[in-house]
Homo-oligomer: A and B are copies of this chain.
């Protein structure tokens, strides 16, 4: 497997497997992050749902729980980003995954601090911007991914080759990947690594509410949808909250009305507090393939073994 030995993602991140756990809000605290890193993949703390003090606490606990590399996900549009940056610098975070914003804004200052920067994109255009801004790699996230997503709606099958052919930095594929065969498919399409989100929400260490984890393993095809395109497109499980969005739209709701309906705390209410009807449940289409909740280390091992098996026998 010569090409795996030269894999630029494992080299860049100094990890055993080119698998990154996505920094999902309300799921990705120090427990999940350290479990994934200890298993040989890259754990990520999702700062998008954390106040600065909570982020710092998670970083400190994560460092106590693993000696392996881990990263912090930083949504660029986060309101208190200057405080977050200060915490990343103070705690000597080595890898930062930026998302939801212009890569040119913070990449230079992160690089000045010697941090490796990976930016999440949903288009070739933004991948080129990220490369130009000095990012070390890009994560190409397809339409099937959970949570916030691009307006182009380009799926992984098309986005991965589009982005791979446009940039020379390594491309990490995200969206629709929960198994080793999906990982291999992404790498056949030109990715050098994968970012896995939904599968890790249904892990024992995710801080997500057990109701939400059970909703994932009980979901089936067509249960998620990309919605709220008037604000920022987000993929979630259809529930009563989603029905309310639909009703509001049928009544010709303005953007302001939709923003008020979403309100503050919807995501926390759904994913962290377990309100399956009135909360926001961000998850990917691949949830239809996830049937059990298990330790994160087992998920890493399973994906890797499936990937190796598939690589040896690509046509089933």
Contacts and interface: CB of A to CB of B under 8 A. Distances in A.
A316 B156 CA distance: 17
A188 B181 contact: yes
Interface residues of A, number: 52
Interface of A: 1, 3-4, 7, 123-125, 142-144, 151-159, 161-162, 164, 175-177, 179, 181-182, 184-190, 192, 220-222, 225-226, 252, 285-286, 288-289, 310-311, 313-316
Nearest to A252: B252
Contact of A184 (B1, B188, B192, B220): B188
Chain B CB within 10 A, most for which of A192, A222, A313: A222
A222 B122 CA distance: 10
B188 A176 contact: no
Contacts of A288: 154, 158, 162
B285 A221 contact: no
A7 B186 CA distance: 23
Contacts of A226: 153
Given A4-B315, A143-B143, A157-B286, 5 more contacts: A142-B157, A152-B222, A154-B221, A154-B285, A185-B185
Contacts of A151: 222
Nearest to A316: B190
A229 B226 CA distance: 14
A152 B219 CA distance: 13
A185 to B, nearest CB: 4
A125 B192 CA distance: 33
B315 A158 contact: no
A176 B153 contact: no
A155 B285 contact: yes
A151 B224 CA distance: 11
12 contacts: A3-B315, A123-B222, A124-B221, A144-B157, A155-B175, A155-B285, A157-B157, A157-B175, A158-B289, A159-B221, A181-B189, A181-B190
